[in-house]
């Protein structure tokens, strides 16, 4: 994966650099550096993004309650 692919992934899923950084436990500047090629993308990032895709799908299907993604209110 290169920086251009990472940016396309973010746009596809509607995730900002800040949001992606928060979800990955890093800083927005790190995401920006990966995207511009100023910093090498970790080889495990595609695996992390795959896991994040699964979470984003669940959030889209079930929403988030009280700021906790993927948590559904009891009926």
Q: Is residue 43 part of a domain?
A: yes
Q: Cα 67 to the chain's mean position, in Å?
A: 16
Residue 25 lies in a domain: yes
In a domain, 16, yes or no: yes
Spatial separation of the C-alpha atoms in residues 75 and 30, rounded to whole Å: 41
pLDDT score recorded for residue 39? 97
State the pLDDT at residue 11.
97
Domain containing 35 — which CATH number? 1.10.260.40
With respect to residue 22, please indicate whether it lies within any of the assigned structural domains. yes
The tens place of each residue's pLDDT in the chain, 75 residues long, gives: 999 999 999 999 999 999 999 999 999 999 999 999 999 999 999 999 999 999 999 988 887 654 555 444 444
Task: Record the pTM.
Answer: 0.79
Is residue 17 situated within a structural domain? Answer: yes
Count of the separate structural domains present in the chain:
1
Residue 10 lies in domain: 3-62
31 burial level (CB within 10 Å; 0-12, 13-18, 19+): buried
- Round to whole Å and give the CA distance between 62 and 19: 19
Residue 2 to residue 35: CA distance in whole angstroms: 7
Would the CA dihedral through 21, 28, 26, 35 be positive or negative? positive
Confidence (pLDDT) at 64 = 66
């Amino acid at each position: 994966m290169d920086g251009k692919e990472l940016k396309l992934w973010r746009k596809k899923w509607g995730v900002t650099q800040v949001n992606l950084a928060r979800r990955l436990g890093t800083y927005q500047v790190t995401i920006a550096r990966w995207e511009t090629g100023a910093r090498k993308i970790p080889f495990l990032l595609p695996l992390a993004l795959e896991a994040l895709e699964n979470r984003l799908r669940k959030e889209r299907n079930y929403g988030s309650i009280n700021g906790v993604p993927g948590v559904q209110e009891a009926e």
